[in-house]
Structure 1
């Protein structure tokens, strides 16, 4: 018996009317989908403060990219997912959308979780430097692939990179668009900083940080002068980080910043 095609738009409209959570997963026949609904709009006050601090310290790469929430965030994410898919990048397929939400296909197999690269890297720490470096390099190359397509991610933390069942790294979470606020080289620098901030601490924990530094330098050297200039200026402005403790004495976030600086410093 031939399965009838799913009317995704009608299904989306029904689920948005009753769905309690902002994001929820469902089974539709032999596929798994996610429905994302608009949340409460966000204010701009905190972004203005962060933007002023980034300007004060001469770090334009850290100028915040506003996520306004609500219908704006839905429209942004739908547009970004479709744009990235058109560039041949592995992102969830948007099946239908409306002003207050959209439905997308799961990147993995139905009923199976697609692990984030961040979780995989952390879990690989006990296995030693080789295992962690292999995963870390896979994420770095996945970011390179995005940059080579003339675009950027939204928040390139390792938690927003996922490993699909075929081993390809996919990308999720696109509620903001850095290219609407920053020139592309700064967007690429922002991606690099986000990835380093979310992974360098695990490189240090397994003893792989020093091995990763020349790999990062080779990656950056191949990216061209625009990104190199952004990173040189950023690391010069961030040289205060060399005085931060490597321990958790001042908290996990400070420890992450120090590890990222030690990874990326010239």
Structure 2
């Protein structure tokens, strides 16, 4: 335990920071302090458990963080494990009472891509989507799953490599690895679709990069195909009503269609 860092964090919190995650200068570099939050279990998670039990689809199981100190300790353990595997994650600096301190892992990928949209730099956007797909494949190749590999939970480092942040959820403890990785894929492609609604080629590019890296016989594609088959009736029912659907439902339909076309060619 670094007593000076603990005093600095305690003093900063006493001043009121107004954010759950906030930066600090420590040993001549920027670090981030992340505070604990209460458990996030909701009624929706009970519905997820029920759906997983009656369908036999493990990836539907909820992976909510336990919250509190236990949630922080879980994230710290995940960061240590991933760092030992060579995954680009923030270095764990210290664990305090209801907070953890981590190093800086680069700019948020989603923010970088939004900046490139404003600049009109289509080549940079496509390059980053492809890099993100390959990076997720690399993470899975190390025998782990992320839990929420959204564009906002990926980082773009100074060396142009993609890193990962935010490991509050631990799907690896809630379901078989291949199911957790299949769930990662669904969340990843949905995140691209949600960010770039009118750019379906970007979704296809990110998905193609992932597939090229893992191969068509990757074991995580087995449960992914199963859930795609399961969702087909839902897709067929909703498709005629798409003009009346909300944004997330529409994004889900388009992401589903891209995966189905690829997996069932």
TM interval, short-chain normalised: 0.7 to 0.9
Question: Aligned partners of 2:128 and 2:218: how far apart in 1?
Answer: 26
Q: Which runs of 5+ in 2 are unaligned?
A: none
Root-mean-square deviation over aligned CA pairs: 3.1
Aligned with residue 215 of structure 2, among 222, 246, 250: 222
8 Å Cα contact 1:75/1:99 also seen in 2: no
8 Å Cα contact 2:116/2:122 also seen in 1: no
Distance change >3 Å, CA 26–CA 223, structure 1 → 2: farther
Question: Aligned partners of 2:184 and 2:200: how far apart in 1?
Answer: 24
1:20-59 alignment, distance < 5 Å: 20=17, 21-43=19-41, 45-59=43-57
Task: Tell which deviates more after alignment, 11-20 or 69-78.
Answer: 11-20
User: In the TM superposition, what whole-angstrom CA distance separates every residue of 1:124-166 from its partner, at most 9, and x where no partner exists?
Assistant: 4984875543322111100011111111112111211111111
Q: 1:62 Cα deviation (Å)?
A: 2.0
Q: 1:228 Cα deviation (Å)?
A: 2.2
1:253 paired with 2:251, answer no
Question: Aligned partners of 1:81 and 1:217: how far apart in 2?
Answer: 23
Q: What secondary structure, in the 3-state scheme, does the structure 1 residue paired with 2:182 have?
A: helix
Q: What secondary structure, in the 3-state scheme, does the structure 1 residue paired with 2:144 have?
A: coil
Aligned with residue 176 of structure 1, among 158, 169, 172: 169
Distance change >3 Å, CA 231–CA 244, structure 1 → 2: same
Give the aligned partner of residue 69 of structure 1.
67
Q: 1:214 Cα deviation (Å)?
A: 8.1
8 Å Cα contact 1:40/1:70 also seen in 2: yes
Question: Aligned partners of 1:164 and 1:259: how far apart in 2?
Answer: 30
8 Å Cα contact 2:72/2:98 also seen in 1: yes
Aligned with residue 184 of structure 2, among 185, 191, 195: 191
1:155 paired with 2:155, answer no
Question: Aligned partners of 2:91 and 2:146: how far apart in 1?
Answer: 16
Aligned with residue 146 of structure 1, among 139, 164, 171: 139
8 Å Cα contact 2:30/2:103 also seen in 1: yes
Aligned with residue 60 of structure 1, among 58, 61, 77: 58
Distance change >3 Å, CA 128–CA 49, structure 1 → 2: same
Give the aligned partner of residue 111 of structure 1.
none
Q: What secondary structure, in the 3-state scheme, does the structure 2 residue paired with 1:197 have?
A: helix
Kindly tell me the number of residue pairs found equivalent between the two proteins: 257
Give the aligned partner of residue 136 of structure 1.
129
Q: What secondary structure, in the 3-state scheme, does the structure 1 residue paired with 2:212 have?
A: helix
User: In the TM superposition, what whole-angstrom CA distance separates every residue of 1:27-53 from its partner, at most 9, and x where no partner exists?
Assistant: 225200111121223446542222113
Task: Tell which deviates more after alignment, 73-82 or 48-57.
Answer: 48-57
Distance change >3 Å, CA 127–CA 242, structure 1 → 2: farther
Bigger share in helix: 2
8 Å Cα contact 2:88/2:163 also seen in 1: yes
